[in-house]
A and B are shown apart, each in its own frame.
Chain A
Amino acid sequence: MKQQRKSIIVLMALLLMFATVLSACSKSTTDNNNSPNSTSSETPAKKPITLRMTVWGAPEEVAAYKVAIQRFEAKYTNIKVDLQHIAADYDTKLTTMVAGNDVPDIAMMESGTIAFPLAEQGKFYNLQQFLDNDSEISVDSLVPNIMYSLEPGNVIGIAPGPESFGLFYNEDIFKEAGIAPPPSKVSEAWTWDEFVEVAKKLTIDTKGKSANEAGFDAKNIKQYGINISTWWGVYSNFVYSNGGDFVSADGKSFALNQPEAVEAIQKMSDLMNVHHVAPSPVQAKNIPSTNVALQTKKVAMAIDGQWASTGLAQSKFNFNVGVMPVLKEPVTTVVCGMFSIFKSTEHPQEAWELLKALLDPEASIDMITAGTWMPSYKDWYTEPALLAKWTENLDSRPSGYKDAIVDVILTKSHQTPTGYVKNFTKIMDIVNPALDKVWLGQQTAQEAMDSIAAKAQEQVQGRRDIE
């Protein structure tokens, strides 16, 4: 009996501990959302609020967000921003949060994954409303193609910065070979054939023979003329440049099997399998990242996003950037993440102010000068003083940068297919396996795209950029 009472006391004590722990937990959550005893605070007019925000990204990027948040919190003393950095499996985590009704106020989103599925269910604010009523920011003040719309007039996200593609190269290789480097002005851009010719001259086997010489050994290549990766971000540049698209202009049919797109894809595959001037996807596994590959002369040129500038600048060698070869029209695809505001937020106006603070190039100036990001405001490209701030006297911005990247993105940019092709992910689930065979040279682009055209067509649901 005595024994039993003692154990009951122990149990009670345990229960009490549990209760305190639990109440402590719930208390802290209520503190976050408008605690009632805030009436005694210094700013009686405005209640203190907390905005929750989720992002992914490298530590430097998170540091840039923190700078933006500090500036924002200094301006709005009643607002605290709770920044959650989700380094891996971002979409999985966010999906779980949505399923559990534990949604952030503002979130970084990727257009190619769950952003549009969420938007289709009405989970995001239409940012057009905010843009219309804001005196500091408007659609025209932003760089083209950095807004994502569910349909015309329904903006679901704005990118903190655009990203475009360029032709990066090692200047020393060109000097030693006595070849003129890639032009940086769009008006002088190489045609595809000119590009292939140069790439051949710069592709060298282990015996020192280049790809346009007799006896060239394609199996033992020491230096590739060009490295070109095979994800849609890269080949979309050439599909658009050739007048092709992923879906037809009316959004009704699958278009990667059309002549313009097929030709562009075939030309890329030929670089690997016919001309042997670019590593195939299998060989590309040996090619280090662009900065190392160019520095160590494993490749002479590389088509990559402008974000590669950071690594290149840190590598300390003579690199430069030119415009990509042009098929019919010079085009660069703009890819970027976006900030979206969840409809469930209790403070939409404050979230919008935060979004603006995050877009401010001044706040992320470190990332911009380091080379990873580009500003999202147009005047940073057109006002000489502002432009100089992030393009002059910087390791990350070589001499060709202004012409090859800045000019091109302002005048020749195309929206990423993820932004306007409905059901893009599902279409690509069908396209990508077929393209595997094209990159490996087992099928022509025409055969591969025709073989899956009917299945891809079933997944085509239209375009977001037309009514």
Chain B
Amino acid sequence: MRKGLFYGLLFTAPAILGFIIFTLGPMIASLVLSLTDYNVFKDQTSFIGFDNYVKMFSGEDDLFYKSLGVTFYFVILRVPAVIILSFFIALLLNMNVKGRAMFRTIIYLPSIVPAVASAMIWMWLMNPDLGLINSVLNWLHLPTSNWLYSEGSVIPSVVLTTLWGIGSTVIIFLAGLSGIPKQYYEAIDVDGGGWYNKLRHITIPMVTPTIFFNTIMTIIGSFQVFNEAYILTEGGPNNKSLFYVFYLWRTGFRDTEMGYASALAWILFIIIMFFTFIVFKTSKSWVHYEGGERS
């Protein structure tokens, strides 16, 4: 038994050490730093208690609220869009059609394109004058938009660009869908139900654990959006896409205010924890586990 423990620890050591050194350690360090005025270039760092947090919430730093608002707007638009869209794509891909493997590959492919490359492609597509999207809309005599380049449409446009990379969410849904036993559908067939009944009474309840998982992962991922602001918009126009993590990065690495940036990071951590907690709490009422209630 002890020998088992020894080998167990030995072989998990890389993971455990990695976690302690590269995740837990820096987290504790940033928590401590968030209570200081640490500036990378200053030789002296002093303990200032909760001043950083006070600065945030007192309204002294109005970009804090602004970036928070921008990020919330993004999360509210993106999470339902990702979940609903990827669920329906997964439904389609789960059907027994010719070339299914090819469709699956096509859907997943964008997920492995580097973020910078796909951002560049979207910049071209969304170009107001020459971009493919507006050209097609023009051709169809539909109204066009300035997409990433105007205040009102920048966040929806960024959401649109991120929907391109939902392949991995779709894959997880597919796994959930293929885990549903065929007999249930056969039972509905026997009872004379159609596709709607199958969807309503079997598919959706059976994939609620997957929906639950994907929702949490999407919420976390959406709050942490960064690349899009960094590459596509640089926070503009008029700070309308100043995402929280982009602002955090700018504070830490451009303005070198690491203490304040650490405080910003911890607030984000708390926000994400809060929403994850809410989803977990409500999950009891809507997530269905096949083995009965999960204690």
Contact = CB atoms under 8 A, between A and B. Distances in A.
**A in complex with B:** yes
Interface string A432-459: 1110110010000000000000000000
Contacts of B129: 282-283, 285-286
A436 B40 contact: no
| Interface of A (DSSP majority class) | helix
Interface in B115-148: 123, 127-130, 146
Interface residues of B, number: 23
Contact of A117 (B123, B256, B258): B256
B238 A425 contact: no
Most buried by A among B127, B237, B255: B237
Interface of B, secondary structure class, is: loop
Contacts of A282: 128-129, 146, 149-150
B41 A121 contact: yes
Interface stretch (A92-100, A140-148, A158-166, A270-278): A92-100
Interface residues of A, number: 27
A465 interface: no
Given A282-B146, A285-B149, A95 B238 contact: no
Contacts of A121: 41-43
A440 B127 contact: no
B36 to A, nearest CB: 14
A244 to B, nearest CB: 23
A123 B41 contact: yes
A289 interface: no
A425 B41 contact: no
Contacts of A432: 236
A95 B128 contact: no
Interface centre among A98, A285, A437, A440 (most CB of B within 10 A): A285
A114 B256 CA distance: 8
Contact of A98 (B41, B123, B130, B254): B41
B19 interface: no
Q: Among A113, A426, A437, A440, which residue has the most Cβ atoms of chain B within 10 A? A: A440
Contacts of A259: none
Interface in B227-284: 236-239, 253-256, 258
Contacts of A283: 128-129
Contact of A281 (B130, B149, B254, B256): B149
Contacts of A429: 63
Instruction: Report, nearest first, the 7 A-B pairs whose CB atoms are least far apart.
Output: A433-B238, A121-B41, A436-B237, A282-B149, A92-B253, A99-B40, A436-B238
13 contacts: A4-B3, A91-B253, A95-B41, A95-B256, A113-B254, A114-B41, A114-B256, A117-B255, A117-B256, A120-B41, A425-B254, A429-B63, A433-B237
